[in-house]
A and B are shown apart, each in its own frame.
Chain A
């Protein structure tokens, strides 16, 4: 008997976060950043994924194999409150893919899994403009006592 062999998911998130303070901190002066989009927080992002499942794909009993591909998209967003038309300090748009597999034995007690993160080796930056890792590999063994 097979589990559902295909699983697809996706989500889209848009958030409009803005500075609503009327006055500059500790003063009676108008807040120059009022109404501006908050920096360092993405405002538009989405995720999507595809998973393939198969029981006993390599034969035997009590085994399950899973192959998956995850995609993450973050639209360009602001590093600072943006005032000027001349200079744009922004975190660039990024799209990344992670490809992985998981194979379990003994009715989901022993797991072997591996993942290639950032499959396309895309250049990506954190919300504070710090570089994040390029393509990387991970392998994991997990055993559940029950």
Chain B
């Protein structure tokens, strides 16, 4: 009898303990996705038209071997990315097909953790983020011609800078990829028409200079002498950079090589001390022979500054173009010397299409993504030895490479 009572009491206690446990809120398991590793990549599987497809974000431990895409986080087609410390910001794809949110992920040892999002004005096309501090960043809205001022820590919009008054002809000056330097935000304005090309009567480089303490436009400066236009591509941060003298160089795309009457492309330079263009440093590279081939540059598609005047770049080549600009393998890897004003083809990296023009410089090695006819993936280039190796194979495109360490 005593045993039975003891058992009943034990059962009741167990039931009580169990029900008490159930009443306690259970902390949700931390959800992380996208694989593991310190290198982040964005891959794209495009459709035959080149303007649709799907893209993925994922972490990998090294740029070698091949990629298991089952770990990826699907994002909008060719979504653009920006990075800040251990965070990656994912922008919506162009148009209204994807969610209209700017999404923030944190890089953790176990993967990517979604830690915030900010709803955007639909189809405003925010493309990149330039950090001023841990609590302040600028996000240009390409289609609206305005700049969101946000707190990237809380993902709350705190202000707005209106650049519509500086637009040529239409309502947006098409603010592209900017850089924060010396207390000012230098924001190039693409000034493009409805065909996504520069206006024939506005072949110049416009840059809004914004005071980061007041968020006011101090002035818009223009370089009108060289014929360069379309300063920076909005999703490629490497196309605006500072050199060792803190001068700001801006890679200019021009007409992407699709207007034979205007092939001017190259680099414009803003003097750090005067906050004005130094036209003596502008360089239209369209007339410069490229060592190692018969071609000349018709456009700068992407670049990355390595130091000492050296720039790794993809340039557009007219002779390699085809009927479809979105699938044409018309991008050629080159090394550019801003001081000597020379360009040299990098042999061993295949001609690539516009979906694989990522360039990163890490540990003294330049990493190029490329989508060739026979080879695709990541190719390394050692600037000292000029050796090229393919380190990673991929059947699709690779739009971004970022090293978190």
Contact = CB atoms under 8 A, between A and B. Distances in A.
> Could you say which interface size class chain A belongs to?
10 to 19
Contact of B74 (A25, A27, A32, A86): A86
Nearest to A130: B97
B396 A27 contact: no
Interface string B326-344: 0100000000000000000
B45 A27 contact: no
B73 interface: yes
A79 to B, nearest CB: 9
Given A80-B74, A84-B72, A87-B74, A29 B395 contact: yes
Nearest to A84: B72
B45 A33 contact: yes
A25 B395 CA distance: 11
B45 A83 contact: yes
Interface in B338-394: 371-376
A28 B371 CA distance: 11
Given A28-B373, A29-B376, A83 B395 contact: no
B70 interface: yes
A26 B373 contact: yes
Given A32-B45, A32-B396, A83 B374 contact: no
A86 B396 CA distance: 19
B61 to A, nearest CB: 18
Contacts of A87: 33, 72-74
A84 B71 contact: yes
Contact of A32 (B48, B327, B395): B395
Interface in A28-85: 28-33, 80-81, 83-85
Interface string B5-36: 00000000000000000000000000001100
B172 to A, nearest CB: 27
Given A32-B45, A80-B54, A84-B56, A27 B72 contact: no
B372 A83 contact: no
Contact of A83 (B33, B72, B375, B376): B72
B54 A83 contact: yes
B45 to A, nearest CB: 6
A31 B371 CA distance: 13
B376 A85 contact: no
B73 A31 contact: no
A142 interface: no
A109 interface: no
Contacts of B71: 84-86
A71 B179 CA distance: 58
Interface in B52-108: 54, 56, 69-74
Interface of A: 24-33, 80-81, 83-87, 89
28 contacts: A24-B395, A25-B327, A26-B327, A26-B373, A27-B376, A29-B373, A29-B376, A30-B395, A32-B45, A32-B395, A80-B74, A83-B45, A83-B54, A83-B69, A83-B70, A83-B72, A84-B56, A84-B69, A84-B70, A84-B73, A85-B71, A86-B34, A86-B72, A86-B73, A86-B74, A87-B73, A89-B54, A89-B74
